[in-house]
C-alpha cells in the first residue's frame, strides 16, 4: 500500500482567522456518493440531486463562517487535496452505502489537518451510531438542526444560525432545476424503507419556511420538490402548497414543477387536475412492482389502491409525465417472472419506462433487513458498500449463474435499445396531444437514461479500465475505490477497508451487533 504515511509526515494545519476575538471558521459540507456503477464517476444528469450539503450549510452563521459545499454526485469523488486541507470543520452526509466513503474523506481531511472537526450524520450513522462513534468527532442521529447544537458546542454559539434555512444558493449542482423540500419523512411504512427503520414521523414545514427556500433558490426553469412524499396525509396542506406554488410561479420564480408522491395521490383525480393547472410537469412515484403480492409483501399497500397501469395512464392523461423505479426482486421471484414483467412494460406504450431498475436493498434497521438477518440470508463478506441495488447480497430464487447475467443484461440494456426506441415512438404517438414538448421530454427521459447508462462516453472508457462488477457481494472487488488517492496517515489504514456486515464465514459482524440489537431512538420532532 504505497499511499499510507507515518504519522509525523504530512498533517498541514489550517490558518488562524483574522480577528483574534472572532476568527472566521472554514466549513466544508459534503454530500458523499459511491456510484452504483462501482466507478469513480460523477452524475451530472441525475434528478433529483442530493441536497444534504446545502441543507446542512444552513447551520452556520454566514457572517462568521466561510462555507463551501461539495456534491460527489455531481462533481465525482472529493480528492482535491487543497480543498481537503482547507476546512476547520467538515460535515458529512450521504445514503447508507456511503458509510465507507465518510471514513475515507475523514482520513483525507485529518491527514491534511490534524485539528479538523469531523461531523457525520444521515441514515448510516442512524443505523450504526455506536459503531460509527470512534471514527468521527460528532456522530449525529438527529435531524439536520442537530448540527446547530454541534456548532454551538464545538465552535461557539455565535457560529450557529438561530433558524436553519437551507443554503440553496450554495447548491451549485442544481443548474436550472431548483430543489426545495416542503415536508420531512413519510406517513407510510414500507418494509424496505430506511425511514421505516428510523421510525421517523411525517412532518410538515410551515409555509413561510417554504417561501424562504423559494427566495434562496432564485429563478429557475423548474423546481423539484424532493420531499419523500409531497402529498402526505393532510390535504389542506397540499392545497395550501399548491396555492403557494401558484403565487411563486406567477412571480416568475419557475415555470414548471415536479415532485415525489405516494400511490394514494392518484386515487383522487382532482389532485392531478389541480397539479396540472399549477404547472406540474412530472411526478415520481415508487411503483416498485406491477405484482400485487410483491406490493403486499413490501407493505406498500398505498400502491394497491389503483392498478399500477391505470395509475400511470391517469397521470399521463392529465398531461403530467410519470417517473418511477422498478424492483428486480430476484430474492423472492424467478427471473422468468421478472423478465415477463419487464417485457410487459417495454411493450406497453401506454406507460412510461422505469427510470431505474434496482435490486431490493436490505437497508439496516428496516423490517426487511431484520427478516433477512433472521433467515441468516446474507452472503459472506457482504459490506455496507454492497447495499447499492446492483449487487446481490443474498441468494436469489433462480440459480445464481442465471441471475448474474440477467442483472448484467438488465443494467446494460444494449439488446433492448431497439425496443426502447420503438416504445418511445409508440408513446409519442399516443400522448403528443396531451404532453407538450417539455413534458414529452421529461416523460421520455427514462428511455434516454436507460440507453445513456451504457452509451455515456466516460462510462464506456472507465468500463474498459475497471474489471466488470461480479454483482455478488462476496466476490465484488473494490480495490480501486478503496485505495487512497494521495498519501494519508497510516493510522487511518482501517478507513480504507470495507465495513463488513457479515464476516467471511457469513456471521454478522460482531462490532455491529450492539446497534442491530438495540436501535437508536427515533429523532425528536423538529420542524
Beta bridge partners of 25: 65
Nearer Cβ to ligand SF4 (111/262): 262
Our CA angle for 70, 322, 388, nearest 5°, is 45
Nearer Cβ to ligand B12 (121/319): 121
Binding status of residue 194 toward ligand B12 by CB under 6 A: yes
Nine-digit cell string for 268? 383522487
> Cα 167 from chain centroid?
19
Binding mask 291-330 for ligand B12 (x = CB under 6 A): ----------------------------------------
Exactly one of 28, 30, 85, 119 binds ligand B12 (CB under 6 A); which one? Answer: 119
96 binds, among ligand SF4, ligand B12, none (CB under 5 to 8 A by kind): ligand B12
- Which helix (H) or strand (E) element contains residue 5? strand 4-5
Binding interface with ligand SF4 (CB under 6 A): 186, 188-190, 193, 195-196, 228-229, 262, 286
From CA 119, how far away is CA 139, in angstroms rounded? Answer: 6
Nine-digit cell string for 205? 414545514
188 binds, among ligand SF4, ligand B12, none (CB under 5 to 8 A by kind): ligand SF4
Exactly one of 5, 64, 67, 91 binds ligand B12 (CB under 6 A); which one? Answer: 91
From CA 393, how far away is CA 506, in angstroms rounded? Answer: 11
Q: Any idea what DSSP says for residue 399?
A: -
Q: Number of residues in contact with ligand B12, rule: CB under 6 A? A: 43
CB of 263 to ligand SF4, least distance (A): 8
CB of 418 to ligand B12, least distance (A): 26
- Residues from 57 through 86 that contact ligand B12 (CB under 6 A): 73
CB of 82 to ligand SF4, least distance (A): 38
Binding status of residue 155 toward ligand B12 by CB under 6 A: no
Q: Any idea what DSSP says for residue 237?
A: H
The backbone torsions φ and ψ at residue 204, rounded to the nearest 5 degrees and listed phi first, read -100, 140
Q: 66 to each of 26, 164, 213, 388, how far by Cα in Å?
A: 5, 16, 21, 34
Task: Count Cβ neighbours within 10 Å for each residue of 486-514 and write b for 16 or more, e otherwise.
Answer: ebbbeebeebbebbbbbeeeeebbeebee
CB of 261 to ligand SF4, least distance (A): 9
Residues found near ligand B12 in the complex (CB under 6 A) = 31, 33-36, 46, 48-52, 55-56, 73, 91, 93-97, 119, 121-123, 140, 142-144, 146-147, 184, 193-195, 226-228, 356, 358, 361, 363, 388-389
Amino acid at each position: 500500500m504505497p499511499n499510507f504515511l507515518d504519522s509525523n509526515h504530512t498533517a498541514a494545519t489550517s490558518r488562524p482567522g483574522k480577528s483574534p476575538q472572532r476568527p472566521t471558521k472554514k466549513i466544508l459540507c459534503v454530500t458523499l456518493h459511491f456510484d452504483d456503477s462501482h466507478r469513480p464517476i460523477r452524475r451530472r444528469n441525475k434528478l433529483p440531486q442530493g441536497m444534504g450539503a446545502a441543507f446542512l450549510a444552513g447551520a452556520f452563521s454566514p457572517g462568521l463562517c466561510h462555507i463551501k459545499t461539495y456534491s460527489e454526485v455531481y462533481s465525482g469523488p472529493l480528492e482535491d487535496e487543497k480543498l481537503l486541507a482547507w476546512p476547520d470543520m467538515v460535515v458529512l452526509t450521504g445514503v447508507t452505502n456511503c458509510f465507507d466513503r465518510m471514513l475515507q474523506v475523514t482520513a483525507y481531511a485529518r491527514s491534511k489537518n490534524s485539528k479538523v472537526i469531523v461531523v457525520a450524520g444521515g441514515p448510516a450513522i442512524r443505523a450504526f451510531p455506536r459503531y460509527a462513534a470512534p471514527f468521527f468527532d460528532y456522530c449525529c442521529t438527529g435531524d439536520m438542526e442537530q448540527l446547530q447544537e454541534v456548532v454551538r458546542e464545538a465552535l461557539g454559539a455565535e457560529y450557529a444560525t438561530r433558524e436553519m434555512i437551507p443554503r440553496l444558493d450554495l447548491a451549485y449542482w442544481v443548474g436550472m432545476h431548483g430543489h426545495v423540500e416542503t415536508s420531512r419523512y413519510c406517513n407510510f411504512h414500507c418494509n424496505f424503507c430506511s425511514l421505516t427503520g428510523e421510525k421517523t414521523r411525517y412532518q410538515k414545514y410551515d409555509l413561510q419556511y417554504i417561501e424562504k427556500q423559494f427566495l434562496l433558490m432564485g429563478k429557475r426553469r423548474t423546481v423539484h420538490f424532493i420531499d419523500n412524499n409531497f402529498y402526505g396525509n393532510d390535504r389542506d396542506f397540499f392545497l395550501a402548497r399548491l396555492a403557494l406554488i401558484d403565487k411563486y410561479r406567477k412571480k416568475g420564480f419557475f415555470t414548471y414543477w415536479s415532485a415525489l408522491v405516494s400511490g394514494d395521490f392518484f386515487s383522487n383525480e382532482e389532485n392531478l387536475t389541480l397539479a396540472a393547472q399549477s404547472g406540474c410537469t412530472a411526478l415520481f412515484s415508487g411503483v416498485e412492482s406491477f405484482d400485487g403480492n410483491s406490493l403486499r409483501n413490501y407493505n406498500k399497500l398505498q400502491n394497491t389502491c389503483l392498478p399500477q397501469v391505470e395509475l400511470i395512464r391517469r397521470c399521463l392523461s392529465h398531461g403530467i409525465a410519470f417517473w418511477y423505479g422498478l424492483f428486480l426482486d430476484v430474492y423472492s421471484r424467478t427471473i422468468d417472472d421478472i423478465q415477463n414483467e419487464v417485457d410487459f412494460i417495454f411493450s406497453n406504450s401506454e406507460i412510461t419506462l422505469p427510470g431505474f431498475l434496482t435490486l431490493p436493498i436490505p437497508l439496516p434497521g428496516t423490517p426487511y433487513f431484520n427478516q433477512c438477518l433472521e433467515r441468516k440470508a446474507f452472503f459472506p463478506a457482504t459490506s455496507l458498500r454492497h447495499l447499492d441495488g446492483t449487487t446481490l447480497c443474498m441468494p436469489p430464487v433462480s440459480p445464481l449463474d442465471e441471475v448474474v447475467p440477467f442483472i448484467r443484461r438488465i443494467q446494460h440494456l444494449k439488446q433492448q435499445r431497439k425496443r426502447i426506441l420503438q416504445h418511445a415512438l409508440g408513446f409519442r404517438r399516443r400522448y403528443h396531444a396531451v404532453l407538450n414538448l417539455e413534458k414529452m421530454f421529461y416523460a421520455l427521459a427514462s428511455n434516454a437514461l436507460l440507453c445513456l447508462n451504457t452509451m455515456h462516453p466516460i462510462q464506456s472508457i472507465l468500463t474498459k479500465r475497471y474489471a466488470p462488477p461480479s454483482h455478488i457481494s462476496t466476490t465484488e472487488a473494490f480495490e480501486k475505490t478503496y485505495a487512497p488517492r494521495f498519501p494519508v496517515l497510516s493510522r487511518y489504514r482501517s478507513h480504507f477497508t470495507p465495513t463488513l456486515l457479515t464476516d467471511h464465514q457469513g456471521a454478522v459482524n460482531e462490532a455491529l451487533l450492539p446497534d442491530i440489537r438495540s436501535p437508536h431512538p427515533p429523532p425528536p420532532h423538529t420542524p
